[in-house]
Structure formats: structure tokens, C-alpha cells
Chains A and B, each alone.
Chain A
Amino acid sequence: MIKTVLDLLWRQEKERPEQTALADENSEVTYRAYASDVRKIGSYLLAHVTHGEIRKPVAVLIDRNLRSIETFLGIACSGNFYVPVDPALPEMRVQTILNELQPLAVLDATDGGHKCKVPALSVREILEGTEGDMSAAGSKTETAESGREQNLETILSGMIDTDPLYAIFTSGSTGVPKGVLIAHRSVLDLVHSFEDAFNFPDGNVFGNQAPFDFDVSVKDIYNALYCGGTVQVIPKRMFVMPKTLIPYLAERKVNTIIWAVSAVRIVADFKVLTDVEPETSLQLKDVMFSGEVMPVKALNYWMDNLPDVRYVNLYGPTEITCNCTYYVVDRRFDAGSALPIGKVLPNMRICLMDEQQHRIRETGRIGEICVEGTGLALGYYNNPEKTAESFVRDPETTGYQNLVYRTGDLGYYDETGALMFANRSDSQIKHMGHRIELGEVEAALNAIDFITIACCIYDTEREKIVCIYQSEAGDKKQIVAELGKWLPKYMWPNKYLKYEQIPMNAHGKIDRALLKQEILQKK
């Protein structure tokens, strides 16, 4: 029986050992080598780190390499769950995440060259057999090896599909990031529903853009594993200087890209498809995107240049395992019109709820999008309060406990019955492909000594986070220097306005409505 994502790996190892499973710019592995590396990492962890502990977090310093993916499954193989951490994050943030987690270990899956000072075990050395006492022992007798394998076997056979597989941290409105914890069964459910909805052929090649601490990448890793395909990890620099991007997709025979909207837009914004050499033979069949609203203009650019590709708009928050609705683009939209988020994925259910927690069924009325199904996260790790706020009992199901996740996204049904995204019910924004709680940015600003008071407003049209502040001393440069100690770069405001006196409303709170009006109307 398939209980965990590891069972998918063992199956591919048996069925197509020589097929390329993972590749990055400089290396590639077959399913045979992939499975062997995963067991090696699992055995090492079991013998030297976890000592049989299960369902505990192990953090991973990630890179754009295949070793990161092997490390994830290696941790799963030890019976624990992985937590990807970008080593480029500010030190204080990494520390806070690690303090929240109390991981059994931190593994370094990078190729080196990062500045993160957290003590970590090198995965490269684990795989080469030179980490710690593995080499010192020097006596890797066959009995010792098979003993380890046996232990691993005990761990694996004891696992069930509700065991956690990974936790991904997202911005938290009170200033502390939250770890969304996802079980094996939710990821298995995701690949089954994608198979039903999109039917990727055996051996399909997925071109991975999304960083591994971003759950968009979960779809690449596990859809490829499920259909016996390949994950091609695309170097980050190709999204900075995108001239080589399309030739790379062609050379690596990429069939499917499941990217953040922001990455799909880069191609359109710089007209990357226009100047492609005619001999470039792209084998692209699917372009799927999610994370924020796709501008129709950018989509039309792609459709004009690659008319035979299937374009799919995907929607869903990390808390329901990537996506809950999809829309296969079946016609051309006018620039300025909105793309539906479409219909629900197989084995998921969504409903719209009004403020009194009643279902909305009629066309056009706006309500909060709520999701139910196997995809629901196990909750926020070590955070029962936040979990209870968002994962609630469905008020319409009274006879048993049926949880729904309240996304905080507002939507409505159009005349055709397709679900449309309207906006947010709170101050969460999507900015440059990232999900950001403005409350977290404000908390960081207001923690700065020399700032009297500050708030943030999102200028959707110009795609800028505007910071309004009142301070005794300090300028923009100093504010950024302080923010940089805590917030990742994508959360920094893009514009700073110093006020002598920030306007307050009758309740003694910042008059956001007034500020918003002033700022958004300014040219």
C-alpha cells in the first residue's frame, strides 16, 4: 500500500532505475541513485542524529540543487519531517524559526558559499561517507550496514500517511513566521488530483523555478516522482538575466513548468520569447502558474508566442497543500479582465462563507473561500492558537467534526459558475510572488528604536509596499539597515514617506483609509 511519498520512490526505483529523476545545472541522478542517496541520508540520521525519534522537525539549508530534494526525502526516510530554510535569510529570522522548531538537526544541502552561521551537518559529506564518525569508524562492515537498513525498515514500516512530511514557514501577521505542517497523505492526495485533472505522461520533465522553501516547488518534486519523470532545477540567475532561460528549457527538454506568476511574468515583461532563435526546439506542453493574480496581458504574450501550450491558472494557499482550484485557459481574455480561479480540484471541496458563517450559493455575492479535504494541513507547528483560528469546524456539518480551512481570501461565483478571486479579508498581500502579512512588516518597523510610529499600505497598481513613518531621527537607509536584520528582502517597503504627524482617527488608531486615499491618488 502507498502510505508515504517514499513508497512512490521505491516503486520508481524498481520500475525505472535508469531513468533520470533529478537534475540541476551540474549534476543528475537516476531513480536508482536517488533512492540509494535517500536511504543513505535516512540511515545516517537514524544512526547519528534521530536515534529512532520520529515525527520531529529537521531543518535543511537549501540551495538550487538536486541534493536539497534528496535531503528532504532522506529526512522523511528517517521518519521525521523536513523544514526548508533559505540560508540567505537574515540571521535573526533563521534563529527565530529554529527556536520555534527546536529541530533534531540542521542539515546543509547547499553547495557552500552562503553566510549562514548556524551549525549544520553537511549532506555532501554524509553522502560521500566523510561526515563525522562515518569515516572515523572506517569499519563499515556489512553487518553494520545491513543492521542500519533493518532499523530503517522498522521506521518505514511503522509510518502512516498522517505523519508529517514537511513544514513551510510563511509570514505571520503578529510578526512571527508560522510553520504550515503538511502530512504525507496530503501530498499523495495532491499528486492524485493532479493526475486526474492534468494527466501528466510517464517520464514528464518538470522545470523547477520555485525555491524549495516555497510550496510551489512541492508540485514539481512529487508530480515528477509520481509519474516517473524528471525534476530539472533551473538556476536562479536565469530569472535575473533571462536570455538563456528559454534555450535552457529546450536543451533540458522541459515539458511542464509550474511557476510562480512573478516568474511567468518575467518572460512576458522582457519579451523573452520574441527573440528566441528559430532552431530552439521547445518541448513545452504545460504552463501552470499560481501565487498571485496573473495579469492577462502577460498571459496573452505567452499565448501569442506559444499557442499550442496548455495554460492553467492554479489557486490555493500553502495550508491546503498547494492548490484547491484550477482553471484551464480555454479562450482569450481581454487585457484588464480577470482570469477565473475556476473549479475545484478532485477530492477537494470549497465553499464561500459570509460573515455569519453561512454558505453563499448565489452568483456574484462575495464570501470567504473555505476549503475542506485531505489536503488540509495538520496545522501550524507549535501554534495551537493560530491553528484554531484558521482550521475551524464546518458550521453546516453538525454530527461529526469536519474541519475547514478559512483562507482569508474573498471570492465569488461568476455567471458561468466559475470561482473568481476578489481580494483579501485582512492585510495579507501578494507581492513579487511572496505572501506577506503587512502586519509583520509593521511590527518590524515599530520595533525600531528611532521610529515613533509606522504603518504600511500596499499600492497594488504600482506594486509597491509604501511605508509611512514618523520618527525622531533616522532616514530611509537606516530603516532598511534595521529591517534587514529581521525581514527578508522581499518584505522591505519599496517607498518611504516621512510624516510630521501620522493622521489618527476618532478611535486613536492610524487613519489608514485617509492615508490610503492620499497615497494611492498621488501620481
Chain B
Amino acid sequence: MDEIMEILEEARPDVDFTKETRLIDDEILDSFDIISIVGELNDAFDIEINVNDLLPENFNSAEAIFELVEKLRQEA
């Protein structure tokens, strides 16, 4: 989780990822944030997040992103 928080905060130092739960629904993250975050997550955890994983429910909070990464790591 710490590593994910680091990636998120690197991408968007202005967002409090411990609190936000509507990162996508409230348009806090834009397409470029998603591209850079997904790229970093793929590299850091050796996973491949594909278009079918790109759903608001997987990216609305740091917790949701953590769960997605865990799921993909187990599948790998």
C-alpha cells in the first residue's frame, strides 16, 4: 500500500489520497494522471492493467487501486 501511495502522490501531490473516494466520479484524476499512474503501477508490480480493468470502481480510491493491484498480482 505504501508503494501505491507513493506512486499516487508522485503523480498528484495536490490530492489527499487517504481521504478521496471519488477520484474518477468527481473528475479529480484526468486521463493523463491515469496514464502515468497505470504506467508506474505496471512497472512497479510487474502487472498489466488493461482496458477492462479501467473502470471507475477500480480507481475511485487508493484502497480500490490497491485491491486491483493485489488481484492482478495473484492472477499473474
* Chain A interface (Cβ < 8 Å from any Cβ of B): 236-237, 239-243, 262-263, 266, 269-272, 274-275, 432, 476-477, 480-481, 484, 489-490, 494
**Contacts A239-B31, A240-B31 given: A480-B13 contact, CB under 8 Å?**
yes
27 inter-chain pairs at a CB distance below 8 angstroms, sorted by A residue, are A237-B24, A239-B31, A240-B30, A240-B31, A240-B34, A241-B55, A241-B56, A241-B59, A243-B52, A243-B54, A262-B32, A263-B31, A266-B31, A266-B35, A270-B50, A270-B51, A271-B51, A275-B50, A275-B51, A275-B52, A476-B13, A477-B13, A477-B14, A480-B13, A480-B14, A494-B11, A494-B36
The distance in angstroms between the C-alpha atoms of A243 and B59, with both chains bound, is 14
The distance in angstroms between the C-alpha atoms of A481 and B15, with both chains bound, is 10
B27: contacting residue among A237, A243, A272, A481, CB under 8 A: A237
Q: Does B29 contact A (CB under 8 A)?
A: yes
B27 near A236 (CB under 8 angstroms)?
yes
B14: contacting residue among A240, A481, A490, CB under 8 A: A481
- Please give, as numbers and ranges, the residues of chain B lying within 8 Å of A271 by CB-CB distance: 50-51
**Shortest Cβ gap from A396 to chain B (Å):** 42
- Taking CB as reference atom, which chain A residue is nearest B9? A477
- Please give, as numbers and ranges, the residues of chain A lying within 8 Å of B52 by CB-CB distance: 243, 275
- Please give, as numbers and ranges, the residues of chain A lying within 8 Å of B30 by CB-CB distance: 236, 240, 489
The distance in angstroms between the C-alpha atoms of A239 and B52, with both chains bound, is 14
The distance in angstroms between the C-alpha atoms of A494 and B52, with both chains bound, is 27
Per-residue contact bits, chain B 1-36, to A (CB 8 Å; 1 contact, 0 not):
000000000010110000000001001011110111
**Shortest Cβ gap from A357 to chain B (Å):** 38
The distance in angstroms between the C-alpha atoms of A262 and B35, with both chains bound, is 10
- Please give, as numbers and ranges, the residues of chain B lying within 8 Å of A270 by CB-CB distance: 38, 50-51, 54
**Contacts A266-B35, A490-B32 given: A242-B13 contact, CB under 8 Å?**
no
The distance in angstroms between the C-alpha atoms of A137 and B30, with both chains bound, is 44
The distance in angstroms between the C-alpha atoms of A477 and B54, with both chains bound, is 28
The distance in angstroms between the C-alpha atoms of A480 and B52, with both chains bound, is 32
**Shortest Cβ gap from A249 to chain B (Å):** 14
**Shortest Cβ gap from B5 to chain A (Å):** 13
B24 near A240 (CB under 8 angstroms)?
yes
- Taking CB as reference atom, which chain B residue is nearest A495? B10
**Chain B CB within 10 Å, residue with most, of A240, A263, A271, A432:** A240
B51 near A243 (CB under 8 angstroms)?
yes
A484 near B14 (CB under 8 angstroms)?
yes
- Please give, as numbers and ranges, the residues of chain A lying within 8 Å of B54 by CB-CB distance: 241-243, 270
The distance in angstroms between the C-alpha atoms of A237 and B22, with both chains bound, is 13
Interface residues of B in 22-76 (CB under 8 A from A): 24, 27, 29-32, 34-36, 38, 50-52, 54-56, 59
The distance in angstroms between the C-alpha atoms of A120 and B13, with both chains bound, is 32
The distance in angstroms between the C-alpha atoms of A271 and B53, with both chains bound, is 12
- Taking CB as reference atom, which chain A residue is nearest B13? A480
**Shortest Cβ gap from B37 to chain A (Å):** 11
The distance in angstroms between the C-alpha atoms of A272 and B55, with both chains bound, is 13
- Please give, as numbers and ranges, the residues of chain A lying within 8 Å of B31 by CB-CB distance: 239-240, 242, 262-263, 266
- Please give, as numbers and ranges, the residues of chain B lying within 8 Å of A240 by CB-CB distance: 24, 27, 29-31, 34
The distance in angstroms between the C-alpha atoms of A275 and B55, with both chains bound, is 15
The distance in angstroms between the C-alpha atoms of A284 and B14, with both chains bound, is 39
**Shortest Cβ gap from B65 to chain A (Å):** 13
**Shortest Cβ gap from B63 to chain A (Å):** 18
**Contacts A266-B31, A266-B35, A269-B35 given: A243-B14 contact, CB under 8 Å?**
no
B14 near A272 (CB under 8 angstroms)?
no
